Amino acid sequence: MDEEAKKAYYAKEMRGAPLVSLLAFRCTYQLEVWLKSRGAIEGREYSAIIRRLLVDGAKKEGFDPDGIL
Protein backbone atom coordinates (compact mmCIF):
# COMPACT_ATOMS: atom_id res chain seq x y z
CA MET A 1 0.00 0.00 0.00
CA ASP A 2 1.50 3.35 -0.99
CA GLU A 3 1.59 6.43 1.24
CA GLU A 4 -1.43 8.07 -0.42
CA ALA A 5 -3.53 4.94 0.08
CA LYS A 6 -2.47 4.78 3.73
CA LYS A 7 -3.45 8.43 4.27
CA ALA A 8 -6.80 7.83 2.57
CA TYR A 9 -7.45 4.76 4.74
CA TYR A 10 -6.69 6.58 7.99
CA ALA A 11 -8.78 9.62 6.99
CA LYS A 12 -11.71 7.37 6.10
CA GLU A 13 -11.32 5.40 9.35
CA MET A 14 -11.79 8.60 11.35
CA ARG A 15 -15.13 9.24 9.61
CA GLY A 16 -16.28 5.61 9.60
CA ALA A 17 -18.05 3.37 12.04
CA PRO A 18 -16.96 3.69 15.67
CA LEU A 19 -14.46 1.23 17.10
CA VAL A 20 -16.59 -0.63 19.63
CA SER A 21 -15.13 -4.12 19.76
CA LEU A 22 -11.85 -5.44 21.09
CA LEU A 23 -10.48 -8.47 19.31
CA ALA A 24 -7.26 -9.94 20.69
CA PHE A 25 -5.03 -12.43 18.92
CA ARG A 26 -1.71 -14.12 19.48
CA CYS A 27 1.24 -13.47 17.21
CA THR A 28 4.92 -14.18 17.12
CA TYR A 29 7.37 -11.90 18.85
CA GLN A 30 8.83 -10.96 15.49
CA LEU A 31 5.41 -9.84 14.21
CA GLU A 32 4.76 -7.89 17.41
CA VAL A 33 8.07 -6.02 17.06
CA TRP A 34 7.41 -5.35 13.37
CA LEU A 35 3.88 -4.02 14.02
CA LYS A 36 5.07 -1.73 16.81
CA SER A 37 7.98 -0.56 14.65
CA ARG A 38 5.61 0.23 11.75
CA GLY A 39 3.46 2.20 14.18
CA ALA A 40 6.48 4.23 15.30
CA ILE A 41 7.60 4.79 11.70
CA GLU A 42 4.12 5.92 10.61
CA GLY A 43 3.46 7.91 13.79
CA ARG A 44 0.39 5.88 14.71
CA GLU A 45 -0.65 3.41 17.36
CA TYR A 46 0.23 -0.11 16.32
CA SER A 47 -3.45 -1.04 16.65
CA ALA A 48 -4.16 1.29 13.71
CA ILE A 49 -1.49 -0.53 11.70
CA ILE A 50 -3.11 -3.87 12.55
CA ARG A 51 -6.56 -2.59 11.51
CA ARG A 52 -5.24 -1.22 8.21
CA LEU A 53 -3.45 -4.43 7.32
CA LEU A 54 -6.36 -6.60 8.42
CA VAL A 55 -8.93 -4.59 6.46
CA ASP A 56 -6.69 -4.62 3.37
CA GLY A 57 -6.32 -8.39 3.58
CA ALA A 58 -10.01 -8.94 4.31
CA LYS A 59 -11.01 -6.85 1.28
CA LYS A 60 -9.01 -9.27 -0.88
CA GLU A 61 -11.18 -12.06 0.58
CA GLY A 62 -14.46 -10.26 -0.16
CA PHE A 63 -14.96 -8.01 2.88
CA ASP A 64 -16.74 -4.73 2.14
CA PRO A 65 -15.74 -2.13 4.76
CA ASP A 66 -18.49 0.18 3.50
CA GLY A 67 -21.17 -2.50 3.60
CA ILE A 68 -24.05 -2.41 6.02
CA LEU A 69 -24.48 -5.50 8.16
Q: Give DSSP secondary structure letters for 31-62.
A: HHHHHHHHHHHHTS-HHHHHHHHHHHHHHHTT
pLDDT, tens digit, 9 for 90 and up, residues 35-54: 999 999 999 999 999 999 99
**What are the structural domains, with CATH classification, of the chain?**
22-62 (1.10.1220)
> The whole model's pTM is what?
0.79
pLDDT at position 29, please? 98
Measured on CA atoms in the order 9, 26, 38, 61, is the torsion positive or negative? negative
pLDDT at position 36, please? 97
pLDDT at position 50, please? 96
pLDDT at position 51, please? 93
The alpha carbon of 52 is separated from its chain's Cα centroid by a whole number of angstroms, namely 2
pLDDT at position 27, please? 96
Those residues of the chain that have pLDDT short of 50 are: none
